[in-house]
Structure 1
C-alpha cells in the first residue's frame, strides 16, 4: 500500500465540509482547525447553484496536494434533492455497465450520482475533469467523501485515472456503501492507476458502511443495547434476500480501514427509537472525526433532522452560519 499524501483525519474534515452551503465552503475551510487555513478553493459549482450532487476542489499550494471532496446525501429532508439522493443510496434496480466493460457494473443510483458530478460546472463553465486536467502534472489528487459521497468517491477517482493515467490519484471513502460488483472492484487492483491507492474507512458499528455486501452483519449491532428488535431484523432480512435473488454481487473496494466504534451509554438505552438514534449517531461526520482524533467540523450535524453550527469562533458571527440538515 502506497503512502497517502494526506491523512484520514484531514480528508474526513474535507468530506464533512462538503455538506456546507456552496457559498460558505471557502469560509469553512478557513475555519477548520485541522486545515490551518492552508487550503484554498480552486473549483466549486457556481454560487447560487444547488445541484443534486455537489463537490469542490481545494489546493494546498505549498504541499502540492489537491483534494476533491464529494457531498453525501443532501442534508434537508424538505428538499427534493434529499429524496433524489435517497434513490442514489438504494442498491436495487438495474445495474449499469462501467464504460466499455462487459462485466464491471455499478448500481443505477451510483451511476446517476456519478453522471451528475461529471456534469457540474463552475462559474467559468469548467467541469471537474477539466479543472483536474489544468493542474500541474506533479500535483497529487485525493478524492474523498462521506456516506453517499464515500460511495461516489472511488467511482469518480476511477474515471479521473482513466483520463489522466500519469497523475498520482488516490481515493479515500468514509462510511461509503459498495458502488458495484466484484468485476468493478477488481478494476482498482490492476497495476498502476488506483492499485494500492484506495482506502475504505468505516466505523465498525456504522450500519451504512455495511451496505450492500454484508447487511445481515448489522443485526443486534449494539452491545448490550439498544437493540432494533424483530422489525429491524425483518427489514435487514428482506434487503439481504432481494440482493441475493437479484444477484447484484456488491463487493467492497480497496483496503478496508476499521475504526472501532463505541456505543454511547449502552446500558441506559432500550427500544427501537434509541436504536435509530444510535444508528444515526454512529454515521455522523463528527463521530468519524472523533474516532480519528480530529476536531469537529465548523458546523454541527445533529440527529438527522436539524443542524446548527455550534459555538462559533470569535471572529465569526453566529447569525451568519448555515443550518444544514442530515439524514443517514
Structure 2
C-alpha cells in the first residue's frame, strides 16, 4: 500500500479584507513574520483550505512583483457549495488561512496582441494579465462585462489606469457582450484570454472555433459540461502493480484511493489540475476544463477526478 502524498500547505495571516464591489471581497494574505509569499505569475490560482472538507480555488489578482502578500477576490454565491459563504461570513482580519499553491494553468503566453474578455468575477485572473501586457508595451484590449457597474470589481482602477483600452459593458446598460466584432475574423497574432460564467466561455469558444489552434485560452470556475461513454474500464497502476476496475458511476480517483494508492487532489471537478496524472498507455476521455486541445490530442496526461477512458483500459503512472 502506498502512503498518501500530502501537498505542501502554508498558513498565512488574513491581513486585510474589504468589499470592492457588490458581493465581492478582496483578501490580502501575508506571513505573520513578514517572509515573502510564494512567487507566482499572472493567471495563477491558489487553493484555500477553509476546512478539511472545504477546499476551494481562487485566482490571484495582485502584483506578482509584490512578494509581501497574496491578493484574491471572492464573489459571494449564496447558492454555491459553501466556499464563498465561508470566506464572506466567517473569515476575519487576523485569522489564519491555509493555502496550497500557487498553480498556473492559465499562463500568459507571448503574443503580438492580446484580447482579454472578462465576465463578472472572471476579471480576477485577467487583472494581473492586463498589467503585465501593458508593462510589456503590448497591443491589448479588455472587454469587461457584468450584471451592473456596482457588481464589477476593480472597475475604477481599470478605467483610471488604462482608459479607452478597457471597454466596460454592464448588462443592465448595454445587454450581453457583443463578441462578433472582435472575434468574427481570426487573427493569428492575437492571443484571446477569457474568464467568466459558462455561458460567456461557451460563446467565446464557439466564435473562436475557426481561429488558429492555441489562440484561445480560457479558465473555468466550474466544470465544463461534458458527455461521452460512461461504461466500465480497467486502469493499470504501473508503479503500484495493481489493476483496478472503474465502474460507470465512479471516477478513477475514488477507485485508486480506495485501493490505498495516494494521489494529490483538490477540486474533484477537473478545474484545478492537482490530480493530473501521466498516461502510459490507452486513450483518455478528457472531461476536465484545463487541458488545451493539443494536450488532449497528445493524451499523455489526464485529470483522474473526472476523465475516463476511450476504450477498455488505461495504464497510469501511479
- TM superposition score normalised by structure 1: 0.28
More strand by share: 2
Structure with greater proportional helix content: 1
TM-score, normalised to structure 2, is: 0.29
